[in-house]
């Protein structure tokens, strides 16, 4: 399938050939330049090419941060009923034993990995002095919904039941964190797995109607998201005829939000899914769920796994996460 994507501009044009949004921070401009430098000469996108591109992007963006983690990184595996799921356990020096965090990477349910998000999870573990676990859930189109959702639930349930094996106390609080598709997975897991203590959701996509003002405002090339790409990702992550009202994937349809744990929402200002977070906050408020929303101004979707390009934006998000986690007791 041929789609116009964030890998390349429609006609491989230079950045100065269109009017860049004046709200872009300097970091967002660097990101745009990096995307352009790595873009393919072809607009043909496959899951494999998208995965390779994102791996290359994260490696290039974060290369100066490699080897800076003050802690231990260990690969383990969780055997579920249907698969052997690899996980990375990020244990910082002098880690506290009162919290354990499960991380689900973004990537539209078809790309991204523990490797692409290793740098940001290292930074999060170091900043919060907590043990973080990054999950390699299976991806579409090879493994479409509900496979990746079930992977996430099964791994989280295992971690909840085996906390002490990861180096924390039996009474440790367990939270879920994710960016983009990983944020949707995280909050959906909270509907299924009982007794999760907190959730941190970074620019999540929570509704498939795509009818918000931000979706209309930011789906063009300078924001590296188009309706064609969104449609293509959905087709590769879900089976034909999937139920748009399934509350596990369109969490706005969840009628039991009051059961959700305290929530931190982190939002990118120049992002098609920005308004999803604001709507979700309103619903959480109505349900009486303790929550906080933090807006990162002037940045685009996908900033979070790229601290090498977005040092200030990621630092702001990490500070908010640290403050929020400190409030969980």
Would you state the structure tokens that stand for residue 134, as one six-digit string? 């990054």
Statement: the pTM of the whole predicted model exceeds 0.85: yes
Beta bridge partners of 242: none
Would you state the structure tokens that stand for residue 150, as one six-digit string? 């079930």
Which CA distances in Å does 316 have to 11, 111, 190, 324?
A: 35, 25, 25, 12
Spatial separation of the C-alpha atoms in residues 138 and 16, rounded to whole Å: 39
Tell me: pLDDT of 241 over 50.
Answer: yes
Would you state the structure tokens that stand for residue 153, as one six-digit string? 């639930």
Confidence of residue 11 (pLDDT cuts 50, 70, 90): very low
Confidence of residue 36 (pLDDT cuts 50, 70, 90): confident
Spatial separation of the C-alpha atoms in residues 119 and 310, rounded to whole Å: 12
Which CA distances in Å does 243 have to 93, 240, 249, 274?
A: 45, 9, 9, 23
pLDDT tens readout for residues 68-100: 999 999 999 999 989 999 999 999 999 999 999
69's CB contacts (< 8 A; 6+ apart) are 90, 92, 122, 123, 125, 126
How is domain 59-326 classified at the CATH fold level?
Rossmann fold (3.40.50)
Are the C-beta atoms of residues 100 and 164 closer than 8 Å to each other? Answer: no
**Lowest mean pLDDT, pick from 4-18, 113-127, 128-142, 225-239:** 4-18
Are the C-beta atoms of residues 139 and 110 closer than 8 Å to each other? Answer: yes
Confidence of residue 8 (pLDDT cuts 50, 70, 90): very low
Confidence of residue 219 (pLDDT cuts 50, 70, 90): confident
Would you state the structure tokens that stand for residue 126, as one six-digit string? 């170091």
Are the C-beta atoms of residues 70 and 107 closer than 8 Å to each other? Answer: no
DSSP H helices in the chain: 26-38, 47-61, 118-128, 147-161, 181-192, 213-217, 227-237, 274-287, 311-326
What strand order describes the sheet that includes 198-202?
71-79, 84-92, 131-135, 99-104, 173-179, 198-202, 263-270, 291-300
Tell me: pLDDT of 7 over 60.
Answer: no
Which CA distances in Å does 283 have to 181, 187, 280?
A: 19, 13, 5
Spatial separation of the C-alpha atoms in residues 155 and 102, rounded to whole Å: 9
Spatial separation of the C-alpha atoms in residues 129 and 42, rounded to whole Å: 44
């Amino acid at each position: 399938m041929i789609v116009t994507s964030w890998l390349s501009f429609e006609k491989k044009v230079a950045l100065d050939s269109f009017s860049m949004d004046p709200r872009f921070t300097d970091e967002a401009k660097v990101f745009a330049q990096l995307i352009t430098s790595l873009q393919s000469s072809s607009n043909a996108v496959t899951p494999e090419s998208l995965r390779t591109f994102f791996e290359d992007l994260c490696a290039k963006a974060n290369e100066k941060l490699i080897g800076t983690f003050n802690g231990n990184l260990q690969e383990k595996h969780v055997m579920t009923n249907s698969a052997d799921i690899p996980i990375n356990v990020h244990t910082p020096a002098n880690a506290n034993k009162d919290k354990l965090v499960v991380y689900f990477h973004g990537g539209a349910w078809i790309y991204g990995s523990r490797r692409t998000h290793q740098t940001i999870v290292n930074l999060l573990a170091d900043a919060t002095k907590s043990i973080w676990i990054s999950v390699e859930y299976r991806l579409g189109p090879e493994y479409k919904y509900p496979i990746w959702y079930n992977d996430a639930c099964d791994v989280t349930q295992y971690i909840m039941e085996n906390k002490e094996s990861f180096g924390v106390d039996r009474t440790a609080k367990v939270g879920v964190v994710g960016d983009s598709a990983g944020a949707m997975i995280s909050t959906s897991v909270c509907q299924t797995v009982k007794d999760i203590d907190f959730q941190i959701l970074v620019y999540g996509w929570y509704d498939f109607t795509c009818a918000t003002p931000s979706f209309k405002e930011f789906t063009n090339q300078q924001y590296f998201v188009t309706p064609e790409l969104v449609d293509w990702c959905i087709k590769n992550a879900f089976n034909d005829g999937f139920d748009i009202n399934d509350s596990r994937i369109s969490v706005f349809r969840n009628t039991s939000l009051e059961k959700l744990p305290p929530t931190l929402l982190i939002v990118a200002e120049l992002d098609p899914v920005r308004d999803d977070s604001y709507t979700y906050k309103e619903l959480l408020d109505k349900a009486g769920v303790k929550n906080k929303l933090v807006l990162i101004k002037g940045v685009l979707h996908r900033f979070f796994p790229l601290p090498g390009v977005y040092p200030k934006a990621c630092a702001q998000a990490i500070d908010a996460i640290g403050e929020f986690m400190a409030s969980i007791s």
